[in-house]
Amino acid sequence: MSSQANYRCPLCQQTLTLNDKTYRCDNNHSFDQAKQGYVNLLPVQFKHSKAPGDNKEMVLARRSFLDKGFYQPLVDKMLELYQEYAEQSTPLLDAGCGEGFYTHQHKTEFNEVYGVDIAKETIKIAAKRYQDCHFSVGTLSKLSFNDDYFSWLVSVYAPILETEFTRILKVNGYLLTVTPAEQHLFELKQLIYRQANEHDVSKSPIKNLTLIEEHKLTYPMHFNNSDDVLNLLAMTPFAFKASKELIEEIKVMTEFTCQADFILRLYKKQKNNQ
Ligand SMILES: C[S@@+](CC[C@H](N)C(=O)[O-])C[C@H]1O[C@@H](n2cnc3c(N)ncnc32)[C@H](O)[C@@H]1O
Ligand SMILES: [Zn+2]
C-alpha cells in the first residue's frame, strides 16, 4: 500500500511522514518503504536475533493450511465480535499478524487496518498479498504507534504485551485475543508425545484491561489429505519434536481428525485502565 500510514519513529517517537517512499521524522531518522509496500521499523539494536520470528517454511505451511478454510469458524467468530462492538471507521492493529490471514479479513472500505510482526520475511509475504492493509516489521514490546491510536487490537496466537497494548489502545477500545484451549490439536499432539498434555489455560494474562466476553470455540477438523496434516504440524511448535518415522507415517495417512479448540477473549480499555 503506498498511502501514508500513521507511524511514529521507533528511535525518537516523533511522527513519521511519508515522502517519496521514505518515512522520515523531524529528527531525520528515515525508514524506506519496501517495494511490497511495508516498512521496516525494527532498528537493528531492537533485534535479539538475526532473523527473529517464525521461519519461511512455517509461514508458508500456515498460509496453505489457513487458505483451505480449516480455521474459518474462528474467523467467523472474530468478525462477529468485531461487527458487534467496533465502530465503522476505526483503526485496527493485528499484533503479531504473521502472513496477514486474519489482518485482511478486518479490512472494509472505510477503516485503516495495520499488521505488525517481528519477522521480516513474513511481513513481506503479507504485504505482497494484502495490499489494502498497512504492514510493518516491528516488535510488540516497543510498538511504533502513538498512544491511544487504535480502537481495536487483535492478537491471534501471538505474544501479548500488556503495557504496550494498553498504551496504543484508545479509551473504550477493544483487544480481542485468541489462544489455544485445553483440547487444541490434541490428536496431533498424541501422535508426537505418547502422553499428550492438555494446554494449560489456567491464567488469563491481562490485568490492565477489563474482560467483557469470553468464548470457547471447539470443533473437529477432518483431513483426507496428508499434506494438510503435514502443514498443520509444520505450523505448530511441536513440529521440531516429530521424528522422521512419524513424518513418513503421516505421509501415508488417508484420514485424520483433530480438534480445534480456541478461547476468544474480548477486553475493553476503560478510563481507569492504564
Ligand atoms: C503463532 S504465530 C501467529 C501468526 C498469526 N497471528 C496467525 O495466527 O496466523 C506468532 C507470530 O508472532 C510473531 N512474534 C513473536 N514475537 C514477536 C514480537 N516480540 N514482536 C512482534 N511479533 C512477534 C511471530 O513472528 C509470528 O508471526
Ligand atoms: Zn526519529
Is the Cβ atom of 155 under 6 angstroms away from ligand 1? no
Is residue 106 within 8 A of residue 94, CB to CB? The reply is: yes
pLDDT in tens, 109-136: 778 999 999 999 999 999 999 999 999 9
* 260 part of a folded domain: yes
Does 124 or 240 have the greater pLDDT score? 124
The confidence score (pLDDT) of residue 156 equals 97
Total-model pTM: 0.94
169 CA to centre of ligand 2 in angstroms: 22
Distance of CA 2 to the CA centre of its chain: 22
Residue 119 CA: nearest ligand 1 atom is 25
* 185 part of a folded domain: yes
* 26 part of a folded domain: no
* 202 part of a folded domain: yes
User: At 144, is the secondary structure helix, strand, or coil?
Assistant: coil
Domain, as residue range, for 199: 39-268
* 184 part of a folded domain: yes
Domains: count for the chain: 1
Task: Look up residue 137 and give its amino acid.
Answer: V
* 7 part of a folded domain: no
pLDDT in tens, 43-82: 877 776 666 667 788 888 999 999 999 999 999 999 999 9
The confidence score (pLDDT) of residue 153 equals 97
What dihedral do alpha carbons 146, 148, 154, 157 form, nearest 10°? 70
The rounded distance, in Å, linking the Cα atoms of 266 and 272 is 17
Is residue 166 within 8 A of residue 149, CB to CB? The reply is: no
**Mean pLDDT (whole number) for 217-229:** 96
Is the Cβ atom of 157 under 6 angstroms away from ligand 1? yes
